[in-house]
Amino acid sequence: MDYTEGVLIGGKWLPGSQGVFDVVDPATLTVIAQVANAGPDDAVAAVDAAHAAFPAWAATAPRARADLLMKTRDLMLRDAEELAGLISAENGKSLADARAEVGYAAEFFRWFAEEAVRPHGDYGSSPAGGTRTIVTHHPVGVAALVTPWNFPAAMATRKIAPALAAGCTVVLKPAAETPLTALAVARLMAEAGVPDGVVNVVPGEDAPAIVAAWTQDPRVRKLSFTGSTNVGRQLLRQAADRVVNTSMELGGNAPFVVTADADVDAAVEGAMIAKFRNGGQACTAANRFYVHASVAEEFTAKLGARVEALVVGPASEGSDIGPLISARARKNVERLVENAVATGAVVAHQAQPATAPGYFFTPVVLTRVTAQSEVVQEEVFAPVAPIVVWSDLEDLLTELNSSEYGLAAYVYAGDLGAALHLAERIEAGMVGINRGLVSDPSAPFGGVKQSGLGREGARAGLEEYTEMQYFSVAW
Ligand code: NAD
């Protein structure tokens, strides 16, 4: 065990009211730190601090807020290697993925530092004449942020940066599997000069109790959640009692379509990113591949060769793919693959298994998968690439849109016009066209259907933390 971390409330590092909990490296199964285990009392104390800090922060000049965000970004880049090491240690992802995450996470501070100083509002005369309408935007207030373990840095900064840019103060509950990175980012924010109480971090094992303390607290005016659709539904129900402003970034089941005229090599390259980045544990991960019959054999062989060459193991050994986050996650994917095989799917290609003791799952390519199979219908969250062969475009669209999810999708096609035409008909908030990556701080990230409500990143990401007010002025 390396060290112990506290709860951050009002600029002070405090013990948790529920003792401590272990953070385990999922690649080695060793305890790497102990973290203060917060409970509902700590959650309320964090709101006390955020509420007290709110008036001064909201009144701070946008330029001054922007400077602090930019400074945080600089500090994240200064400490990029250390942060990447921490992400790999608590989440298990490869160092390459962890480094990419640090860059992506830091970029939210730059993007929202730039957005913080772009004033928005409106001024006009009413259609009937005689009055003027002035529209202004206020920070919504204390924002409760709840984040998952799969991107311990980026899921936190994608919320903290726009909240602070808008003038909100925050209370953050990182996932219990990966609290260390969020705490490290909070420490850098303090070093940058962000005032005490503006960012409060409440790690803890009892997520329902901590988050319920926030949804019940009238001082909390915003809930921004990233995680599973199931928990998102529960939190929407809780938020309904006080009509809390909510943003929900939930699960996905991204299709990856390869058309007959696609550049197959480019599609394979994109598939490796869309599927195997983060070991398949991304909400935007390609979950199901639909490959046109005329290129299915070539695509499968080329993707298979790449998958067989993947090195699976601990990040510290320079692997391409780390472990899954938990024994439960591994059991779930083993079940999905076993069920697929029992109903006729074939494990066509497989990487070499890891030799380390962690929660490793060996990446596989499955063929002869039916569109109705569980491995296609459920969010797999693991390095499994099920391939369904298609030939009729309308049938394909029916299958693509049959999911309750609508987060990301990918289309590889030679004819860009046809690709755009297809993309417009896919029910997804984001479509990568001849690209295997859609995440970009300057673009509106989010889903339709049961993948969520609201957007993160882009200008829209800041608006999630503001409320409009208008003045009707007799003229
Ligand atoms: P999760 O829903 O189990 O947990 C997410 C967060 O909610 C964690 O902080 C957890 O402690 C907390 N939580 C869990 N149960 C809770 C409850 N009953 N009440 C209050 N809080 C609770 O999700 P996860 O397993 O950590 O993350 C994986 C999921 O997140 C996947 O479904 C993935 O698609 C989704 N995700 C979505 C996005 C997106 O932007 N749309 C990004 C990353 C991950």
CATH number of the domain residue 393 falls in = 3.40.309.10
d(CA 62, CA 81): 30
User: Is the residue at 445 inside a domain?
Assistant: no
345 token code pair: 């799917």
Integer angstrom CA distances of residue 453 from 234, 359, 445, 449, 460: 14, 32, 10, 8, 12
pLDDT digits (tens, 9 = 90+) for 289-324: 999 999 999 999 999 999 999 999 999 999 999 999
Contact status, residue 284 vs residue 456, Cβ threshold 8 Å: no
Specify whether 226 is located in the same domain as 86.
Answer: yes
Based on the number of CB atoms within 10 Å of its own CB, is 394 exposed (0-12), middle (13-18) or buried (19 or more)? exposed
Specify whether 327 is located in the same domain as 376.
Answer: yes
User: Is the residue at 345 inside a domain?
Assistant: yes
User: Is the residue at 144 inside a domain?
Assistant: yes
User: Is the residue at 369 inside a domain?
Assistant: yes
* Closest ligand 1 atom to Cα of 447: 41
Instruction: Provide the pLDDT for residue 371.
Output: 87
Query: What distance in angstroms lies between residue 223's CA and the mean position of ligand 1's atoms?
Result: 13
The 8-class DSSP code of residue 279 comes to G
Query: What distance in angstroms lies between residue 250's CA and the mean position of ligand 1's atoms?
Result: 7
Contacts for 423-431: CB closer than 8 Å, 24+ residues apart: 425/397, 425/401, 426/255, 426/397, 426/400, 426/401, 427/400, 427/401, 428/254, 429/455, 430/284
In the chain, the largest separation of any two C-alpha atoms, in whole Å, equals 77
Instruction: Provide the pLDDT for residue 2.
Output: 62
User: Is the residue at 328 inside a domain?
Assistant: yes
Question: Which residue among 233, 250, 330, 333 is best mutated to probe the pocket of ligand 1, counting the most ligand atoms within 8 A of its Cβ?
Answer: 250
- Give the amino acid at 283: C
Instruction: Provide the pLDDT for residue 4.
Output: 83
Specify whether 314 is located in the same domain as 187.
Answer: no
User: What share of the chain has pLDDT > 90, as a percent?
Assistant: 97
Specify whether 273 is located in the same domain as 338.
Answer: yes
Residues of the chain with pLDDT under 50: none
* Closest ligand 1 atom to Cα of 452: 41
For residue 129, give every residue at least 6 positions away whose Cβ sits within 8 Å of its Cβ, in sequence order, or none. none
Ligand 1, CB cutoff 6 Å, lining residues:
146-150, 155, 173, 175-176, 207-208, 211, 226-228, 231, 234-235, 249-252, 283, 379, 407, 447, 452
Q: Which residue has the tokens 């909990």?
A: 21
* Closest ligand 1 atom to Cα of 238: 19
Query: What distance in angstroms lies between residue 138's CA and the mean position of ligand 1's atoms?
Result: 28
221 token code pair: 């005016």
For residue 212, give the 3-state DSSP assignment: helix
Specify whether 230 is located in the same domain as 162.
Answer: yes
Identify the domain containing residue 319 by its residue range. Answer: 254-440
CA dihedral (446, 213, 156, 207) positive or negative: negative
User: Is the residue at 305 inside a domain?
Assistant: yes
Specify whether 349 is located in the same domain as 224.
Answer: no
- Give the amino acid at 456: E
Residue 456's nearest CA partner among 466, 467, 465, 446 is 446
Specify whether 234 is located in the same domain as 381.
Answer: no
Query: What distance in angstroms lies between residue 175's CA and the mean position of ligand 1's atoms?
Result: 8
Specify whether 197 is located in the same domain as 296.
Answer: no
Specify whether 199 is located in the same domain as 285.
Answer: no
Question: Which residue among 18, 37, 150 is best mutated to probe the pocket of ligand 1, counting the most ligand atoms within 8 A of its Cβ?
Answer: 150
DSSP string, 83-141: HHHHHHHHH---HHHHHHHHHHHHHHHHHHHHHHTS---EEEE-TTSSEEEEEEEEE--
Specify whether 160 is located in the same domain as 299.
Answer: no
* Closest ligand 1 atom to Cα of 229: 32
User: Is the residue at 22 inside a domain?
Assistant: yes
Specify whether 339 is located in the same domain as 236.
Answer: no
Integer angstrom CA distances of residue 451 from 76, 398, 472: 30, 18, 37
Query: What distance in angstroms lies between residue 301's CA and the mean position of ligand 1's atoms?
Result: 35
Contact status, residue 361 vs residue 413, Cβ threshold 8 Å: no
Residues recognised as catalytic: 249, 283
* Closest ligand 1 atom to Cα of 451: 41
Which residue has the least CA distance to atom 41 on ligand 1?
249
Contact status, residue 42 vs residue 9, Cβ threshold 8 Å: yes
Which residue has the least CA distance to atom 23 on ligand 1?
227
Contact status, residue 428 vs residue 406, Cβ threshold 8 Å: yes
74 token code pair: 């600089």
Alpha helices in 178-291 (DSSP H): 180-192, 207-215, 229-242, 264-276
Instruction: Provide the pLDDT for residue 475.
Output: 85
Q: What is the signed CA dihedral for 434, 437, 439, 443, rounded to 10 degrees? A: -10
Instruction: Provide the pLDDT for residue 1.
Output: 60
Residue 410's nearest CA partner among 376, 438, 378, 379 is 438
CATH number, position 169? 3.40.605.10
User: Is the residue at 446 inside a domain?
Assistant: no
Query: What distance in angstroms lies between residue 421's CA and the mean position of ligand 1's atoms?
Result: 33
First to last CA, the chain: 69
Specify whether 261 is located in the same domain as 156.
Answer: no
What's the domain count of the chain? 2
